[in-house]
Structure 1
Amino acid sequence: MAFVIAGLVLVGALCLVNLLLLTGIRRKLRGRGGQLSGPKPGRPMPDFSATTLSGRTIGRADLLGRPAVLAFLSTSCPTCPTLVPHLVEHARSTGLTADRMVVVIAGDESAAEALAEPLAGVASVVVEPSVGELTRAFSVSTTPTTVLVDAEGKVARTETGPRPLADMERAGI
């Protein structure tokens, strides 16, 4: 009987520790607005300069004046390839031109080019090493991360996951 009581006390203590840890994690997420990757909404888009696969240089100034989408993918991310068709569909359904959609692919260049192939003519694709200039500038720590920027150059929304644009459209963004 003493073993049963000791076991119940141990299980109760473990449950209490688990509850405290979950409460701490919840508070930390609430402090970031639930967002773990990318710039916070309302902040100005960071200044950047990058060269696309087509050889064109793009920067912050090129994205001002109209809304834009920046998607951050990685060649090592298992869910990133599932986002590519949604990016293409979003661009076609909204009339978003290639100069308004920037896709940053981090990782091996040949794998990145294969991932970028369906985006030809739909997006401006930038390939960078695992942690490149744009990834750092936009504080991206998880892929896929999608950032919507308004016409004034402020971050309107940041989402992670394989279908953020569909979720944003349902939310009216």
Structure 2
Amino acid sequence: MPYVITGLVLVAAVAALNTVLLVVILRRWQELEAVRRRDGFAGQGPQPGDRLPEFTSTAVSGRTLSESDLRSGELLLGVFSHDCPSCTDSLPDFAEQAGRARAAGGRAVALVMGEEAGDSALTGQLDGIADEIVVHPEAAPLFRALQVPAFPTILRYRDGVVTAPFAADREPVPAAS
């Protein structure tokens, strides 16, 4: 009888160890898959050296923006979706980058996509962060011209040329045009 109990305890211990290892492996796999997707999106859309496309849009403030208004100096351009949890999570990163752009004499502009973008909580949160906010449908021409692959996409420009996409540590959400 003691051999049976010892055997059962040993089998239970091995099963518990297998379960723990399986959970660790699955979590790591999910993390690696998220990095792979994020890296896959990074190779799409605007790349360093690309110019700011031509556009004309009206911001929430009522001001008309065009590429000629934004082609000099530093520009931080954030592209968000009103219903994207990763977009909301990336706002502190965007706010920090916007502060740096302003400190360098630049500006921060946010595009918010989606039918309900104008009345969204995200647009309200961006109000204190971005210098100008352009919401859907006004943001659609620039969004399509940029060929943004995922939300959030944050781009840094210098004199109208992409210097670097800013990769937030968030799970990207595929962007549909």
TM superposition score category, shorter chain reference? 0.5 to 0.7
Which amino acid in the other structure matches residue 150 of structure 1? R
CA contact (8 A) 1:74 1:144 kept: yes
Deviation at 1:41, TM superposition (A): 1.3
Deviation at 1:110, TM superposition (A): 5.2
| Residue of structure 2 equivalent to 1:70 | 77
Partners of 1:40 and 1:73 lie apart in 2 by: 18
Partners of 2:99 and 2:52 lie apart in 1 by: 24
Deviation at 1:112, TM superposition (A): 5.2
| Residue of structure 2 equivalent to 1:145 | 153
| Residue of structure 1 equivalent to 2:162 | 155
Task: Describe the shift of the 1:113–1:149 C-alpha distance in structure 2 as closer, same or farther (beyond 3 A).
Answer: same
RMSD: 3.0
- Taking structure 1 as the reference length, what is the TM-score of the superposition? 0.63
CA contact (8 A) 1:82 1:162 kept: no
Residues 18-167 of structure 1 correspond to what in structure 2 (within 5 A)?
Answer: 35-36=43-44, 38-96=45-103, 100-109=107-116, 113-123=120-130, 124-129=132-137, 132-151=140-159, 153-162=160-169
Which amino acid in the other structure matches residue 52 of structure 1? A
Identify the range of structure 1 (104-113 vs 77-86) with the bigger mean alpha-carbon deviation: 104-113
Partners of 1:138 and 1:58 lie apart in 2 by: 15
Gaps of 5+ in 1: 1-24, 164-173
Gaps of 5+ in 2: 1-35, 171-177
Q: What SS does the aligned partner of 2:76 have?
A: strand
Q: How many residues align?
A: 131
Deviation at 1:119, TM superposition (A): 2.5
Partners of 1:136 and 1:110 lie apart in 2 by: 16
- Taking structure 2 as the reference length, what is the TM-score of the superposition? 0.62
- Identity among equivalent pairs (%): 32
